[in-house]
Amino acid sequence: MKKHTAHSILELAIVSEGSTFGQTLQHSLELAKVAEANHYKRYWFAEHHNSASVGSSATSLLILYVAENTSKIRVGSGGIMLPNHSPLIIAEQFGTLAHLYPNRIDLGLGRAPGTDTLTAQEIRSDFMKAAHSFPAEIEKIEHYFSKSNSTGKVRAPIAEGADVPIYILGSSTDSAHLAARKGLPYAFASHFATDHLMSALKIYREEFQPSEVLEKPYTIAGVNVIIAETDEEAQKLFTSVVRMFLGILTGNSQPLHPPTEMTEDLQDIFHHPSVHQMLKYSFVGTKERVKEQTKAFLEQTQVDELIVVSTIYDFKDRIKSTELFAEVMSEINADDSTD
């Protein structure tokens, strides 16, 4: 019997053209409820700043919002960009969340700023120093969560002994070495950073050192998923993503555009080396086609969990895609159990 592969959602709260931040965040909650009903394991919010098209900036507040209005699904950060924050404050925030919603809160930690350099410096003037000190900053958080810190001079009492699993996030091989050395679960941002996925997974597995929290490697990989009734409809929905990534690469970030037909111009943009590489792990099509793509990816990577980004203009289409992907994963796991 093969292992069961979990499925989760990474939420950026991307604002569609014509929508408000308020509507977008309400949709985030509604999607979390759909995810819970369809047996997704966790619902993580990313952290981004200085973007008119992304609503996931106050990550801890959004985790609170969703955890309060759901009952079972794990909720967490994918991630907290630690160089932006004081480890003490993060420990206090997530310790508080853990007491409010026991056994449901995850703390994913990343090194990147989640924004441009100027904004990163505005958030924290010593950002570069904090980024270089990422491993030490993680140790501070672990220290604040430890029961042994009850005698320390600087404490986060609400965090001491709280059950908050820590995940290392990454988009390069540096994070793989760190996660392996610390014996922590590892999530790779392959939904946009595809170059180093396989080498990072190899490093993490080969160098993994068992810890008090994890006996063997645990891997999560990000993928983009859009499922519709026909391949043509899914490709049309995907045009919004292609335009969004073009905006990212050209520094022209805008709200998510409505889908259009997949024109030759959009095909050319998609096949531009930079865009195509970033969107390499995008599974787009009917349920059957996405199932084939997902199975191939799982066979290639052998990851323990997929965390899905579904950037779709119309919320009804996004709900449908989310429900259909849950069916895909259920079928894959059922197929694997009978192999």
CATH code of residue 177: 3.20.20.30
Q: What is the pLDDT of residues 296-339, one digit of tens each?
A: 999 999 999 999 999 999 999 999 999 999 999 999 999 877 66
Instruction: Provide the whole-model pTM.
Output: 0.95
Residues with Cβ < 8 Å from 75, sequence gap 6 or more?
32, 42, 43, 44, 63, 66, 67, 101, 104, 105, 106
Number of domains in the chain: 1
By residue range, what is the domain housing residue 45?
Answer: 6-228+303-338
User: Exposure of 172 by Cβ count < 10 A (0-12 exposed, 13-18 middle, 19+ buried)?
Assistant: middle
In a domain, residue 250? The reply is no
In a domain, residue 239? The reply is no
Q: Are strands 219-227 and 305-309 parallel, antiparallel or unpaired?
A: parallel
In a domain, residue 295? The reply is no
Q: What is the pLDDT of residues 1-32, one digit of tens each?
A: 467 999 999 999 999 999 999 999 999 999 99
In a domain, residue 243? The reply is no
In a domain, residue 191? The reply is yes
> Which is more confident, 1 or 143?
143
